[in-house]
Amino acid sequence: MLENLDLELVSGEDGIHRPITTSDLSRPGLELAGFFDYYPKERVQLLGMTELTFFQKLRSDEKLERMERLCDDRTPAIVISRELEVPEELIEASERHAVPVMKSKLTTTRLSSKLTNYLEKMLAPTTAVHGVLVDIYGVGVLITGQSGVGKSEAALDLVKRGHRLVADDCVEIRQEDNDTLVGSAPELIEHLLEIRGLGIINIMTLFGASAIRSTKRITLNVHLELWNSKKQYDRLGIEEDKLKIIDTEITKITLPVRPGRNIAVIIEVAAMNFRLKRLGINTAKEFTDKLANVISERDTDFI
């Protein structure tokens, strides 16, 4: 947090290891006034000009007592905005209880917003999925399937067609909102793609920076499986399966793989068709409606 938000550590360095477990912040105005009955001690405490101006009006004994109680054993950190002067009472209490006290140049409102966004991102639920993530025309497509089915080969073909690789083999996914999944690659294999028989290749080195991106929201899953002649596959595109990752469901399309099928082109078209559906254009539904009208007209003529 110190590095990413450009904060300056003032005191309490011994407590820098304290974990932050919630993205909620607290502005302890009531606590400085002496009301600690509902003190949210597990939150990062944010002190701005309002709180510190009020604090300066307290008696000396009150200042010591309030800062002593503010620096609880469970308090992860105290952050002061606007580069305001840190009260001596806070420095002494933070050193005794090992509570990190930090300063920022930002105004209280901007600091609160940046802190909340950063903590929500870092504390979001995460998981890892075996697959490939590609950005196709702005649609984050998660390609899954059993090992050796051709996921990486399809991704390579898509990159050659101008799309962007996010992750290969292992996709780290975090749920930033109730319906938002964001995928990225582990640092060790970022920008790398493994092709059996060829080995590991660096997509950015081969195709340039425009062929990769670091993160992408996942909205579509294309699952590859070997063609099963006994299985009935969707031929109209009316049925819509879902894949649940953490607490979010995304659209799932199952594509059978066999010689002669250009999987990369089919995935590309699947992404384009998915965009059309989000714009309200559903070709399969339009076709079935038209077919139903034709059948209805013929039945009427027959009667």
| CATH no., domain 126-281 | 3.40.50.300
CATH for 8-122, among 3.40.1390.20, 3.10.129.10, 3.20.20.140, 2.60.40.10? 3.40.1390.20
Q: What is the pTM of this model?
A: 0.76
- From residue 46, alpha-carbon distances to 29, 63, 90, 119, 285 in Å are 10, 17, 13, 14, 53
Average pLDDT per run of 10 along the chain, which is 303 residues long?
A: 92 93 94 95 95 95 95 95 95 95 95 93 92 96 93 95 95 89 95 92 95 96 89 74 92 90 93 90 79 75 57
- At residue 285, the pLDDT reads 77
147 is in an annotated binding site: yes
In angstroms, how far is the first alpha carbon of the chain from the final one?
76
Tokens of 71: 């620096």
48 is in an annotated binding site: no
Tokens of 188: 């060790």
User: Which ranges of 135-219 does DSSP label H, i.e. alpha helix?
Assistant: 151-160, 203-207
166 is in an annotated binding site: no
Query: In angstroms, rounded to a whole number, what is the distance separating the alpha carbons of residues 166 and 188?
Result: 13
Amino acid letter for position 280: G
Active site residues: 130, 151, 169, 235
Domains 8-122 and 126-281 share a fold: no
- At residue 111, the pLDDT reads 95
23 is in an annotated binding site: no
Query: In angstroms, rounded to a whole number, what is the distance separating the alpha carbons of residues 274 and 276?
Result: 5
Domain ranges of the chain: 8-122, 126-281
138 is in an annotated binding site: no
